Structure 1
Amino acid sequence: MKVALLTDCYLPRLGGIEVQTHDLAAHLRARGHEVEVFTATPGPHGERHGAVEDVDGVPVHRMALRLPWELPVNPLAPPEVRRRLRGGGFDVAHVHMGVVSPFATDLAGVALGLGLPTAITWHCLMGRSQPVFRALGHARRWGRRGAALSAVSGLAAAGVQAVVGDAAQVRVLPNGIDVAAWAPPVGRMPRGGGPVRVVAAMRFAARKRPGAVLEIARAARSRVASAVDLHVDLFGDGPERRRLEQYIARHGMGTWVSLPGRVSRDELRSHYWASDVYMTPARLEAFGIAALEARTAGLPVLARADTGVSDFVTDGVNGVLGRDDDALASALAALVTDTDLRRRIADENSTVAPAQSWAAVAALAESEYHRAGAS
């Protein structure tokens, strides 16, 4: 098949949709498909206005405008994208939706208007935006026109289904992971001795709740004996960094909490292998790619139960799921003090691969394309 991936955001921006769309393109190509990407994100050297750039063997159509903060928005793009889709010999379009995706929304209409089989995947939780999505009616109309609708987790799919109603069935098309790349080295055993190392990784943006990492860690620290040695590494960067630094200084946490900054995926993986627990307090987590990476790396995962993380973390088996921040603090205290619990979960995660391998996810994507009507 020849597949058009339509997305507001793409590399060189870094985020869940950007990285996952890039990796999906690579794995579809490995399965023998042709893939091209259409995005409103400019290229690394300012490529925009329809310039086509090769990114790891995939043609990327940079339909970006010159806008403040490089916003991935282009209401002028549909006519040109329509022309390129019509003349490009595509078999299917795959639209990737975020919380606010004006470019992808426009292009979903373009693809369906051309009669092109269209799959549409939501990478977000609709949550409080459900009434807005319901009033706009896009998702319901797309379903009635035959689009194959999906979302990245069961929780996210339930939110889309509530908006779509009986217009279409919303399935789960999860994010994928390279299991071999993230799995811990053969023979690696859970750490023993030294401080219990807790790690978290995220953008330092309010919706990711990096401040909650520090609050939960501080609450857990107060619930364990002072003789227990605990260290927290919070990786990432963003607008909340200054506030995090102030919180650490105000509460005297500098001796056991560090902010190493943003690191590469290879460096982060090495840090996971040298740590004991992964924590994510995010509430608006449709899936949780970083948590899946940590779970694949063998770490017990501490997360909220009301997020997409529950698709690949079973409470007490792959980690601990809590209903709120207080429950997460109690769970972290238990993981820090209970070596046997940590080692049992780490052994499970090190030896049992998650179901979201890229081989499985790429096959599910193909099934969505066939469901949409692609030959």
Structure 2
Amino acid sequence: MAGWTLVKVALLSDCYPPRLGGIERQVHDLAHELVRAGHEVEVFTATTGPAGERGGVIEIEDGVTVHRLAIPLPNGLPVNPFAPPEVRRRLLAGRFDVAHAHLGVVSPFATDLVRVALGVGLPVAATVHCVLGRWVPVMRAAGHLRRWAGRGVALSAVSRMAAAQVREAAGGARVGVLNNGIDAAWWAAGEAGAADRSGADGIHVVTAMRLVSRKRPLALLGALHEARRQLDPSVPLRATVAGEGPQRRAMEAYVRARDLDWVSMPGRLDREGLRRMHHAGDLYVTTARLEAFGIAALEARAAGLPVVAPAGTGVDDVVEDGVDGLLVSSDAGVAEAVARLAGDDALRRRMRAHLRQDPPRQDWPATVAATLDEYRRAGAR
């Protein structure tokens, strides 16, 4: 196992594109980055394909083989309790070197497939992508993470905060930290010119999120409102909140009620649209407290934006307080930090200069290398 150079990997995930979400996107990008590095990758998922493909259909997308093991369920729910026997057959036939499961709080498909992979003798890595929070006692009582660790599964989570929770749920087992990855150079491309306009036409605060209560978008608007109150009235301030979701109507009502006509909500943006938004911005802000990692903050940091965020989340792995942005303890702290950065051109420019010179360590080559280390750890055990 230590002599591995190129490997054949089975990625196991309930969710995969065309579903939208953080796990889906990371598993997709990891698969393609592993292939780009010369490895073989096959994805096993309970998500239907773009045209509703399911029932074991196999697709090839840019060198990645995708096994669509979905069954017809309402809203395309990515669950298939009948998949294990067929996946077992395919894993045995595929001569894989390692299996890598990607898990949220509730991941019945990937959980079943960890057992299948162990049953056919594969080394298994398992990465938790979510905040367990109040589910820690439940998962500790269920015991599967502890049992997996006892059978040699290399457990990991996407941040130090998330890893601590997984460790507790797994009864103190070793849990690695496997940060998500991005193409840092792509996000930075064109940023140098954008940085030169910092504050030229007022301060532009940007953010991107799903407009759901877990991301606390109303708290974000409240922090922006308070930051505007604290900021010198002579400093123009505007904000762009990119994203879509069920909280939009409540947010629009909040904006109308408080005359926040300087806040725009353009809806969901694709990656190119997000990059353009970041390059037109001066700082990035989030009030989310249940961030296992904070991929949106990492993308903003890579694009050269100082980040304001609550401390004690996965964003701690992305942002060094006072260097890459400001980490705070409360919503009031978010408002104060936004007002401080908006009103201090020298601080903002100093941070942006640092961000241009010091790309994030979660670039894909480093993330792929760390992933392979987890595979070796699984194999060694």
TM-score range, shorter chain: over 0.9
Give the equivalent residue in structure 2 for 1:366: 372
Code of the residue aligned with 1:59 in structure 2: it is T
Q: Residue 295 of structure 1 is aligned with which of 298, 301, 315?
A: 301
Give how far 1:271 is off.
Answer: 1.1
Q: Is the 8 A contact 2:191 2:303 kept in 1?
A: no
Give the equivalent residue in structure 2 for 1:169: 174
Give the equivalent residue in structure 2 for 1:330: 336
Give how far 1:187 is off.
Answer: 4.0
Q: Residue 20 of structure 2 is aligned with which of 14, 17, 20?
A: 14
Give the equivalent residue in structure 2 for 1:137: 143
Give how far 1:208 is off.
Answer: 1.3
Give the equivalent residue in structure 2 for 1:73: 79
Q: In structure 2, how many angstroms separate the alpha carbons of the residues matched to 1:242 and 1:55? A: 37
Q: Is the 8 A contact 1:41 1:63 kept in 2?
A: yes
Give the equivalent residue in structure 1 for 2:111: 105
Alignment partner of 1:162: what SS? helix
Give the equivalent residue in structure 2 for 1:4: 10
Change beyond 3 A, Cα 1:24–1:91: same
2:227 maps to 1:220? yes
Residues 209-236 of structure 1 deviation map (CA, whole Å, 9 limit, x = unaligned): 1222211101111112222210010001
Residues 154-199 of structure 1 deviation map (CA, whole Å, 9 limit, x = unaligned): 1111111112234x31111110011110114274234132120000
Give the equivalent residue in structure 1 for 2:244: 237
Give the equivalent residue in structure 2 for 1:272: 278
Q: In structure 2, how many angstroms separate the alpha carbons of the residues matched to 1:10 and 1:212? A: 30
Q: In structure 2, how many angstroms separate the alpha carbons of the residues matched to 1:39 and 1:344? A: 45
Code of the residue aligned with 2:347 in structure 1: it is L
Q: Residue 292 of structure 2 is aligned with which of 286, 304, 308?
A: 286
Q: Is the 8 A contact 2:98 2:123 kept in 1?
A: yes
Code of the residue aligned with 1:220 in structure 2: it is A
2:184 maps to 1:179? yes
Q: Is the 8 A contact 1:4 1:35 kept in 2?
A: yes
Give how far 1:374 is off.
Answer: 7.1
Give the equivalent residue in structure 2 for 1:31: 37
Residues 236-278 of structure 1 deviation map (CA, whole Å, 9 limit, x = unaligned): 101111111111111111x200001111101110110110010
Code of the residue aligned with 2:360 in structure 1: it is P
Q: In structure 1, how many angstroms separate the alpha carbons of the residues matched to 2:318 and 2:332? A: 22
Q: In structure 2, how many angstroms separate the alpha carbons of the residues matched to 1:99 and 1:261? A: 27
Q: In structure 2, how many angstroms separate the alpha carbons of the residues matched to 1:56 and 1:43? A: 15
Q: Residue 204 of structure 1 is aligned with which of 201, 208, 211?
A: 211
Structure 2: gaps of 5 or more residues: 1-6
Alignment partner of 2:171: what SS? helix
Aligned length: 373
TM-score normalised by L of structure 2: 0.95
Alignment partner of 2:348: what SS? helix
Q: In structure 2, how many angstroms separate the alpha carbons of the residues matched to 1:83 and 1:9? A: 21
Residues 123-153 of structure 1 deviation map (CA, whole Å, 9 limit, x = unaligned): 1111111001101101000000000111111
Change beyond 3 A, Cα 1:186–1:131: closer
2:55 maps to 1:45? no
Q: Is the 8 A contact 1:27 1:362 kept in 2?
A: yes
2:257 maps to 1:250? yes
Higher mean Cα deviation, 99-108 or 291-300? 99-108
Q: In structure 2, how many angstroms separate the alpha carbons of the residues matched to 1:282 and 1:42? A: 30
Over the aligned positions, Cα root-mean-square deviation in angstroms equals 1.3
Q: Is the 8 A contact 1:207 1:284 kept in 2?
A: yes
TM-score normalised by L of structure 1: 0.97
Give how far 1:120 is off.
Answer: 0.3
Q: In structure 1, how many angstroms separate the alpha carbons of the residues matched to 2:103 and 2:358? A: 31
Q: In structure 2, how many angstroms separate the alpha carbons of the residues matched to 1:321 and 1:192? A: 22
Alignment partner of 2:334: what SS? helix
Change beyond 3 A, Cα 1:186–1:312: closer
Change beyond 3 A, Cα 1:82–1:374: farther
Alignment partner of 2:244: what SS? coil
2:346 maps to 1:346? no
Give the equivalent residue in structure 2 for 1:85: 91
Change beyond 3 A, Cα 1:33–1:374: farther
Q: Is the 8 A contact 1:233 1:257 kept in 2?
A: yes
Q: Residue 268 of structure 2 is aligned with which of 262, 269, 277?
A: 262
Code of the residue aligned with 2:154 in structure 1: it is A
Q: Is the 8 A contact 2:297 2:318 kept in 1?
A: no
Alignment partner of 1:141: what SS? helix
